Structure formats: structure tokens, C-alpha cells
Amino acid sequence: MVKKLLFFVLIFVSFSWASVYKSNCVSCHNRLPVSIDKYFYRYLLKYSSQKAVNEAMTNYLKNPNKDTTIMPDAFISRFGVKKATTLSDKDLQKALDEYWEIYKVFGKLK
């Protein structure tokens, strides 16, 4: 009985430490043929700064539609427009901050 309880506590703790980004973004994007970093680079090419990328992604994720997507028409025709995020503003910001830190190119280019 103690082993089972310890097992469930460990599982709960591991899920509570999982990042919002990994558990809510990566888990779905791993099912698509386009890796998640490609979305980041498309946003970065169009919006340039962290603030502008963050704002554009937040707006899109809260209210996704065909007119504001950065993905090509062929991608949208094949996979459709995503559903609006159910994340709170705080969790969405955490996820976007982690996404930025992982894929940003600033300070990494030589």
C-alpha cells in the first residue's frame, strides 16, 4: 500500500513540475509533420522582436483564424486552423516565454 501511494505521489509531482509549454504545446505539435521550431522562425521572420512575436502569437492563439495565421494556405487546407487555446493568460505567457528561450537566435549566432 505504501509503495502504491509513493508511486502516485511521484507521478503527481512529476506532472506538476512539467512545463506548460511541453505539456500543452509540444504534445500536440509532435503530431504534425512540421516541427515546432518552424513556426517560431516564421513568426520571427515576420515580427522580428520578442515583444512583437509574443504579441502576435498570443493574439493568434487566443483567436486563431485563417486571416491571421502565418502558415501557408496549403498547410491550412490540409490541417485546418487550430482551436483557440484554453490556457490562462499567465500559463500562455509562461509557455511563450519558454518557447522563445528555446528557439531564439539572438546571442547564438557567431
* pLDDT tens column, 21-44: 888 888 888 888 888 899 899 999
pLDDT at 14 over 60: no
Is residue 73 in a domain? yes
pLDDT of 12 over the 70 cut: no
Per-residue model confidence (pLDDT) at position 65: 93
Nearest CA among 96, 29, 94 for reference residue 59: 96
Q: Give a yes or no: residue 5 inside a domain.
A: no
Residue 2 lies inside a defined structural domain of this protein: no
Query: Does any domain span residue 8?
Result: no
The pLDDT value recorded for residue 9 is: 47
**Is residue 11 in some structural domain?**
no
Predicted TM-score of the model (pTM): 0.75
Q: Classify residue 48 as left (phi > 0), alpha (psi -120 to 50) or beta.
A: left
For 35, phi then psi, to 5°, come to -65, 150
**Per the domain annotation, does 37 fall within a domain?**
yes
Question: Domain range holding 95?
Answer: 20-103
pLDDT tens readout for residues 49-99: 999 999 999 999 999 999 989 999 998 998 889 899 999 999 999 999 999
Within a domain: 42:
yes
Residue of 84, 100, 102 whose CA lies nearest to 51: 100
Q: How many domains does the chain have?
A: 1
55 in any annotated domain = yes
